[in-house]
Amino acid sequence: NAGVTQTPKFRVLKTGQSMTLLCAQDMNHEYMYWYRQDPGMGLRLIHYSVGEGTTAKGEVPDGYNVSRLKKQNFLLGLESAAPSQTSVYFCASSYFRDNSYEQYFGPGTRLTVT
Amino acid sequence: GEDVEQSLFLSVREGDSSVINCTYTDSSSTYLYWYKQEPGAGLQLLTYIFSNMDMKQDQRLTVLLNKKDKHLSLRIADTQTGDSAIYFCAETPAYGSSNTGKLIFGQGTTLQVKP
């Protein structure tokens, strides 16, 4: 199993450009999440999905959109990138076991918006 | 609302014990987690504890939970240079019909281990 993979690993965008980050998991997990990590702020949830075809807003959804057309993939889109979106983006997936959820994380995408 | 707080930095000498602390506010939290993030990598689950427990031990790791004070700690015995990383505390409510498996993370504690 590859676990959770993210594409690309690094990206530099100019303000106003758009891009899509791809997350893929091969563990048949129902739940998937997108976080951003900024220094001193931990991880903040952007959007999440509890199953194929469903998405919901997290703590910091503005400026981002997501889609979950297939169970194994969760896409994060930036329609018009802003410097405030410079961050490291992590995808995670989880399943329910022993009354708990265990989240598995991808390696991250480092995005710089100039 | 839900909030998780951690101190930002801890420095110890190799071979000493490390204690990383976390406080949380959600009284309905029943699972609390410790994740480790090495430089340039994603988060890796170290351990978790159910709120009806007050201690959990796993090799060099000991988790202590004081539910009354909403205080969680992670003790690493015989700390090694390979333990240098950022450690995140996280909470999630118990499973229920509306549960989504979302985690609320603290800011992370950077552990520096000096040889």
Q: How would DSSP label each residue in chain A?
A: ---EEEE-SEEEE-TT--EEEEEEESS--SEEEEEEE-TTS-EEEEEEEEETTEEEE-SS-TTEEEE-SSTTEEEEEESS--GGG-EEEEEEEEEEETTEEEEEE---EEEEE-
Q: Tell me which chain B residues have a C-beta less than 8 angstroms from the C-beta of A35.
A: 105
- pLDDT-based confidence at A1, cuts 50/70/90? confident
Q: What is the mean pLDDT of residues A78-97?
A: 94
CB A54 within 8 A of CB A66: no
User: In this model, does residue A45 exceed pLDDT 50?
Assistant: yes
Among chain A residues, the shortest Cα distance to B1 is held by A59
Label residue A50 left, alpha or beta by phi (over 0 means left) and psi (-120 to 50 means alpha): alpha
Contact call for A101 and B42, based on CB within 8 A = no
Q: For chain A, give the mean pLDDT.
A: 94
For residue A20, give the nearest of A69, A67, A82 by alpha carbon: A67
Question: What whole-number distance in Å separates Cα of residue B21 and Cα of residue B90?
Answer: 12
Question: What whole-number distance in Å separates Cα of residue A67 and Cα of residue B34?
Answer: 29
Contact call for B107 and A103, based on CB within 8 A = no
- pLDDT-based confidence at A25, cuts 50/70/90? very high
pLDDT at B98: 54
User: In this model, does residue A84 exceed pLDDT 90?
Assistant: yes
Q: What is the mean pLDDT of residues A53-71?
A: 96
Contact call for A96 and B101, based on CB within 8 A = yes
Other C-beta atoms lying within 10 Å of the C-beta of residue B60? 14
Percent of all residues in chain A with a pLDDT value above 90, rounded to a whole number: 86
pLDDT at B1: 58
Q: What is the mean pLDDT of residues A27-49?
A: 92
Task: Look at residue B46 and give its three-state secondary structure.
Answer: strand
pLDDT at B97: 46
- Chain A: nearest CA to B10, how far in angstroms? 14
Q: Which residues of chain B have pLDDT under 70?
A: 1-2, 27, 29, 93-99
What residue has token string 């090799």? B59
Q: Within its chain, how far is the Cα of A91 from the centroid?
A: 4
Output A111 or B41, whichever has higher pLDDT: A111
